[in-house]
């Protein structure tokens, strides 16, 4: 085991050397943890070999901690990890990051922070000290806290007075990251506490119904997340979801064109984006191909917002009729019968196999012999070595003695999978899972375009799976 410790330490050291060399050669640097987040400081990640080095260092560091820390302590840390979410939510909802930023200077005393947040300083200081111990915020002097690279991301970028006076609209015009955080730290967090009760109850243990998830157990009224979101009193959460779904994507605008060759399509081709929201994906395709026809299908309210967005972003595509929006329900028969490409981006992971089969079967019934189906969801990787190379979407296994799936460096995939389970009774899927699901609906996978981010991390579109009718 001592040899493993040395191997892990060497991987960290070698990775640091690779990162340092790339930064020196390109005039960049690794951003300081003590400085507020600035997207421009992330440029170092784009250098050759740096992405692999970063993932290697992260994976090795976590494995080294798991190896060296006493096992009872590790179990206790995992068992109490709910406290991290609880503490983070207090700081987030209290707008602590914004309060500190508006004060200026190098930090703010807990009494001043608590006064602005209308909280007890004797309680809030314990929350912030816990977070600072885990590198969220910094305690720069006794009872004086400052923002750092992580805590600064809690700030939505609006004045405190505006945030407090307009809670429903506070996320409008933001990146969407904080809107997603608000949802994860609130009801998704609370719902996860009911996982065992839901999985163990004979009424829900083997259910594929979205209204029988851990979330549904938590709210106690037998409704799906989507139905609950539309209930009176949930306007703030519905608004946050709208912003998070509409603008919370951090993938580059051209990421969609780095897999399937949309530029090879012509004016005779028709791309149909199923559940395409306000048309973010379609916008990138339309800008990359000036002739292909595109239809975006979604709910009526979403379509209305999408049309308004396109009137600002790409009005000529709308006025020419090359791009159209259409109200649609993917659980109903598909009305378009001449599709060259059907796109399902981040759709199937919201549903159990039972409902995915309905979606896929309707598309198969409407497909021509030459229609292609493009599924864009994260693909789950096995933790063990994948000798048959069937995981998909990952370029290489991690070097030994790291976990082949890159361990903690790829944890975002597994977080997303459990989030889908808790909230929607749904799932992310392995490639064999997806292959079998598509086969049952009459589709055959012919190609997988790998995720350029390598690990399906937030900020990438994930792999693209191309299928054709059987």
Distance CA 345, CA 277 (A): 10
Look at residue 284 and give its three-state secondary structure. helix
Catalytic residue among 349, 362, 381, 424: 349
Distance from CA of residue 217 to its chain's centroid?
Answer: 24
Q: Is 349 a catalytic residue?
A: yes
Distance CA 336, CA 270 (A): 9
SS3 content of the chain, % helix, strand, coil (to 5): 50, 10, 35
Instruction: Report the residue count for the chain.
Output: 470
Look at residue 201 and give its three-state secondary structure. coil
- Contact assessment for residue 303 and residue 296, using Cβ atoms and an 8 Å cutoff: yes
The angle that helices 121-133 and 110-117 make with each other, rounded to 10 degrees, is 110
Q: Look-up: residue for tokens 């191309």? A: 466
Q: And the tokens for 57?
A: 């260092």
Put residue 87 in one of left, alpha, beta given phi > 0 → left and psi -120 to 50 → alpha. Answer: alpha
* Strand-pair category, 138-141 with 270-274: unpaired
- Among 277, 440, 242, 447, smallest CA distance to 355 is for 440
Distance CA 456, CA 40 (A): 22
Q: Which residues of 127-151 are buried (b: 16+ CB within 10 A; e: fewer)?
A: bbebbbeeebbbbeeeebbbbbbbb
| Measured CA angle at 173 (ends 182, 146), to 5 deg | 55
Distance CA 65, CA 74 (A): 9
Q: How many CB atoms lie within 10 A of CB 358?
A: 14
Catalytic residue positions, numbered: 349
């Amino acid at each position: 085991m001592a040899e493993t410790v040395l191997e892990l330490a060497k991987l960290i050291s070698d990775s640091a050397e690779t990162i340092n060399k790339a930064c020196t050669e390109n005039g960049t640097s690794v951003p300081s943890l003590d400085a507020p987040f600035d997207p421009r400081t992330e440029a170092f990640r784009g250098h050759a070999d740096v992405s692999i080095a970063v993932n290697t260092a992260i994976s090795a560091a976590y494995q080294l901690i798991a190896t060296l820390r006493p096992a009872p302590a590790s179990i206790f840390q995992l068992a109490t990890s709910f406290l991290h979410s609880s503490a983070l939510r207090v700081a987030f909802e209290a707008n602590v990051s914004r309060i500190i930023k508006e004060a200026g200077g190098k930090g703010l005393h807990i009494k001043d922070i608590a006064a602005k947040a209308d909280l007890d300083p004797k309680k809030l200081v314990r929350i912030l000290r816990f977070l600072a111990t885990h590198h969220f915020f910094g305690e720069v002097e006794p009872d004086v806290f400052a923002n750092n690279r992580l805590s600064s991301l809690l700030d939505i970028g609006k004045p405190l007075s505006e945030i407090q006076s307009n809670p429903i609209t506070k996320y409008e015009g933001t990146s969407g990251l904080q809107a997603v955080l608000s949802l994860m730290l609130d009801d998704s967090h609370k719902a996860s506490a009911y996982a065992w009760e839901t999985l163990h109850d004979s009424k829900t243990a083997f259910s594929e119904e979205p209204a029988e998830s851990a979330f549904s157990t938590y709210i106690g009224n037998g409704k799906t997340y989507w139905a609950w979101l539309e209930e009176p009193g949930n306007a703030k959460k519905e608004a946050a979801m709208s912003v998070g779904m509409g603008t919370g994507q951090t993938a580059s605008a051209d990421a969609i064109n780095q897999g399937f060759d949309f530029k090879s399509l012509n004016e005779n081709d028709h791309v149909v984006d199923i559940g395409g929201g306000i048309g973010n994906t379609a916008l990138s395709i339309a800008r990359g191909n000036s002739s292909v026809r595109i239809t975006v299908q979604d709910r009526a309210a979403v379509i209305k917002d999408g049309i308004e967005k396109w009137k600002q972003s790409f009005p000529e595509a709308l006025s020419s009729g090359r791009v159209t929006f259409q109200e649609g329900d993917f659980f109903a028969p598909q009305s378009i019968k001449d599709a060259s490409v059907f796109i399902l981006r981040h759709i199937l992971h919201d549903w159990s196999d039972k409902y995915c089969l309905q979606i896929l079967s309707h598309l198969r019934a409407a497909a021509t012999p030459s229609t292609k189906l493009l599924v864009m969801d994260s693909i789950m990787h096995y933790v063990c070595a994948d000798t048959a190379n069937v995981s998909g979407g990952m370029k290489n296994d991690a070097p030994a003695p790291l976990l082949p799936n890159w361990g903690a460096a790829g944890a975002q995939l597994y977080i997303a999978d459990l989030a889908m389970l808790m909230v929607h009774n749904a799932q992310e899927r392995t490639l064999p899972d997806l292959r079998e699901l598509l086969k049952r609906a009459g589709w055959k996978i012919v190609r997988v375009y790998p995720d350029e981010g390598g690990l399906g991390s937030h900020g990438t579109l994930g792999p693209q799976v191309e299928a054709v009718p059987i």
